[in-house]
Amino acid sequence: MLLSAQTRLGALGIVLAAAALRAQPLPPDVILSNGKIITVDERFAIAQAVAIGGDRILAVGTNQEMARLAGPNTRKIDLLGKAVIPGLIDNHMHLLRAATTWTRELRFDGIESRKQAIELLRARAKSAGPGEWIYNIGGWTHHQFTDNPKSFTREELDQIAPDNPVALQESYYQVFLNSKALQTFGIRADAPDPPDFVKGSILRDAHGNPTGVIQGDIAATRPVAARLPKVAPGKLEASSRALLDDMNRAGLTSVGVPGCNADVLDIFQKWKAQGKLNLRIFCIEGAAAGAPDQVDRSLEQISRMKLFQGDSYIDSIFFGESVYQPLHDPMFALKSDPSPDQLQQWRRIAMEIAKAGLPLHVHAELHNTIDAFLDQIEAINQEHPIKNLRWTLAHVNQINAPQLERMKKLGMYAAVHPWAVINGGIMQEGFGDGAYDMPPLSTIQNSGIQWGFGTDGTAANQTLPFMTLYFAVTGKMVGGAKIIRQTISREDALIAHTRKNAYLVFQENNLGAIQPGKLADLLVLDRDYLTIPADDIKNIKPVMTMVGGKLVYEAPPIGDPSDNVQTARPHFRNPVNSPRRRKRPH
């Protein structure tokens, strides 16, 4: 099945090259010039200008070279010296699930002060009707508050929102509830814990009064999240739109998505048909068996599974992210001990995936789990070679050099999701000194394996790609504490978030670099990623985000108060969405 997909990609490449040749006399729709175009091509070339026609990049070069291509209707955008990079790709974010709660959540991504978080809470309490939930589901840590890195108390949340239940989930580690929320859940001094809460996860004082803190790990936080209201079906579309807008604003243009839930995927399919889908979605799918008696059903599903039926806007590309649920490392677990029985079930399923010729993207975090999976994969590889299937281990914060060597021999890839960006403090408590090598970024980079960045957001981690790049280059987590010792260069970090990730979502012919023939997904940045102080990387903001030649985000104007969105920087106004957009010959 994969073979046919690759053949299809190959054929597409030839068609595109031919179209580009024929199309060459057609002038570009838009030329961006007078910039610093960080192409992230194989040579990491820097150019001045880029020409775009339809949804693709036509040419990259000097201002003069691009100016010569211009026709009478070519829109010219003066970049005023700004840096341009390819659109950023997150290879693993639970994006479609997030759409079902996004506009109801009070997100703390990128909020650096506790004061500001409190202000957001107050504002939400003011605008929410009495009894309406105020909540978020992960993506933050109290360590990110540089003014006062303190968690929240029940009393404080009561004072801010006396009439609303409040639940603030810190990653998958703990949840802070106010009295109204405790009351709603029936958590009281004189009552037993609700049965679905993990024993001991509801923290109580000496008198048995619940403190408002639910603590432990993903299993401890799950009963709270399960009780929180999602957006109403009639508002799912608006929530999905707000989510995509936030991602474009942050600089993301493509996302690998474990679990593409049908309700949101239908909306995205509709938008795609209307030319309104502003983010590329690459699904990682498959229902993992939870017990031995579910394995046969899983095998049957795999034998019928069809990937690569979509296009460069929506496609399904991997089986994942779990093969056999009992071997899914829980977040914050310190050690794993996969049993031979469990591994035997895992192998039956993974063997079927290899036999069906499917790519696999599998959650593998802890040292013992990675070793155990590699043992199985080496055995599977003897029967059904996986060489060209792009099998990928995901998360891999505890990976080491010998494991990377084994993966390279198998033709495997690493999807690196640095949970430490927000969870570094918690991980240090658990792993001690070992946490400083989670993930071992320079070991991964120096191994020569093909690897790319994801966040695993929106609950396990925050979602902002420039925060991940800052972490990779400085070794610092949100809030600024140095949390890993193995850092990498800003060039390597950017490559891992663009070109390498294009490979990890099977789009290397289309995405990941600013090169002739590739899709015009790019970001104009407010400052130069390559030269600003490393500590500023997290503060980089796209001024403009383009997906397939279409302007999908433009920063609001700064400065002159007479400016407004309509008149400021007219040279950035949607260059390609204009009526004179024409079809290129095929």
Enumerate binding residues for Zn ion (CB under 5 A). 363
340 contacts: CB under 8 Å, gap ≥ 6: none
Least gap, CB of 297 to Zn ion (angstroms): 22
Q: Which residue has the tokens 């403009």?
A: 544
> Closest CB to Zn ion among 228 and 364?
364
Peptide bond into 25 cis (omega under 30): no
- Nearest CB to Zn ion, comparing residues 157 and 331: 331
Nearer Cβ to Zn ion, position 85 or 414?
414
Q: Which is nearer to Zn ion, 259 or 480 (CB)?
A: 259
Min dist CB 224 to Zn ion, Å, is 20
Three-state DSSP state, 253: strand
Minimum distance of Zn ion from residue 251's CB (angstroms): 23
- Mapping DSSP to helix (H, G, I), strand (E, B) and coil, where does residue 86 land? strand
Q: Which is nearer to Zn ion, 160 or 331 (CB)?
A: 331
* C-alpha span between 139 and 225 (Å, rounded): 13
Nearer to Zn ion, 176 or 373 (CB): 373
Cβ density class 162-180: b for 16+ within 10 Å, e for less: eebbbbbbbbbbbbbbbbb
Which string of DSSP letters, residue by residue, matches 320-344? EE-SBGGGSPPTT-------HHHHH
CB count, 10 Å around CB of 3? 10
Please state the length of the chain: 586
For Zn ion, the closer of residues 260 and 519 by Cβ is 260
Decide whether 180 or 363 has the Cβ nearer to Zn ion: 363
Q: What is d(CA 48, CA 349) in angstroms, rounded to the nearest whole number?
A: 50
> Which of 105, 138, 109 lies closest to 251 in space, CA to CA?
109
Residue number, nearest CB to Zn ion: 363
Q: Which amino acid is at 231?
A: V
- In this complex, which beta carbon is closest to Zn ion, that of residue 47 or of residue 394? 394
| Residues 495, 502: Cα–Cα separation, whole Å | 10
CB of 321 to Zn ion, least distance (A): 5
What minimum distance in Å lies between the beta carbon of 430 and Zn ion? 17
Give the integer Cα–Cα distance in Å for 296 and 289.
9
CB of 396 to Zn ion, least distance (A): 10
Instruction: Name which of 224 and 460 has its Cβ closer to Zn ion.
Output: 460
Taking the least distance from each CB to Zn ion, the nearer of 348 and 363 is 363
- Least distance to Zn ion from the beta carbon of 323, Å? 12
Closer residue to Zn ion, CB minimum distance, 363 or 499: 363
DSSP 386: -
- DSSP reduced 3-state for 523: strand
363 or 550, CB closer to Zn ion? 363
Q: How far is the CB of 540 from Zn ion (least distance, A)?
A: 27
User: In angstroms, what is the minimal distance from the CB of 92 to Zn ion?
Assistant: 7
- 8 A C-beta contact, residue 278 and residue 244: yes
- Give the residue carrying structure tokens 């026609």: 53
Shortest distance (Å) from residue 431 CB to Zn ion:
18
Nearest to 141 by CA among 163, 115, 186, 110: 110
Q: How far is the CB of 7 from Zn ion (least distance, A)?
A: 31
Shortest Å distance, C-beta 456 to Zn ion: 6
Q: How far is the CB of 27 from Zn ion (least distance, A)?
A: 47
d(CA 577, CA 241): 18
Q: Is the Cβ of residue 41 or residue 456 nearer to Zn ion in the bound state?
A: 456
| CA distance linking residue 577 with residue 48, whole number of Å | 24
Long-range contacts of 190-199 (CB under 8 A, 24+ apart): 194/223, 196/223, 196/226, 197/223, 198/223
Rounded to a whole number of angstroms, the minimum distance from the CB of residue 454 to Zn ion is 10
Which of residues 325 and 446 has its CB atom nearest to Zn ion in the complex? 325
Rounded CA Rg of the chain: 24
* Secondary structure (H, E, C), 259-302: CCCHHHHHHHHHHHHCCCCCCEEEEEECCCECCHHHHHHHHHHH
Residue 45: how many other CB atoms lie within 10 Å: 15
Report the C-alpha gap between 22 and 354 in whole angstroms: 40
Instruction: Report the nearest approach of Zn ion to the CB of residue 258 (Å).
Output: 7
DSSP letters for 352-364: HHHHTT--EEEEE
Cβ-proximal residues to 53 (8 Å cutoff; 6+ apart), any chain: 23, 26, 27, 28, 29, 549, 584
